[in-house]
């Protein structure tokens, strides 16, 4: 996971240079990391990666992204919400 953290930090440095297509690919990768952690029941780690995916998509103009990006954003929000319910976390607790 240290490698993933390192690579994410490098990607954040390029944040301004991300094209909508690159941002969508990055968000998809972050979502998959989060989803993988969900299957491992590492819920807090999963939430971190899912929030990162959501943030990457949120920084983009949704009109410039593909239709699948909307589905990815919705899936990400659903996964985050579900994990918050399981963990009993309120957004104000964070």
Domains of the chain with CATH codes: 20-93 (1.20.58)
pTM (predicted TM-score): 0.78
Q: How confident is the model at residue 22 (pLDDT cuts 50, 70, 90)?
A: confident
Residue 93 pLDDT: 53
pLDDT at residue 8 above 90? Answer: no
d(CA 31, CA 40): 14
Report the candidate in 46, 57, 56, 55 with the shortest Cα–Cα distance to residue 80.
46
Percent of the chain with pLDDT over 90: 22
CA distance linking residue 67 with residue 51, whole number of Å: 20
d(CA 79, CA 31): 9
């Amino acid at each position: 996971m240290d490698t993933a953290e390192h690579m994410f930090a490098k990607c954040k440095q390029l944040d301004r240079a991300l094209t909508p297509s690159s941002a969508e690919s990055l968000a998809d990768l972050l979502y998959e990391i989060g989803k993988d952690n969900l299957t491992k029941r590492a819920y807090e780690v999963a939430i971190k990666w899912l929030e990162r995916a959501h943030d990457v998509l949120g920084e983009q103009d949704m009109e410039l992204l593909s239709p699948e990006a909307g589905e990815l954003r919705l899936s990400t929000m659903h996964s985050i919400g579900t994990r918050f319910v399981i963990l009993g976390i309120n957004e104000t607790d964070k």
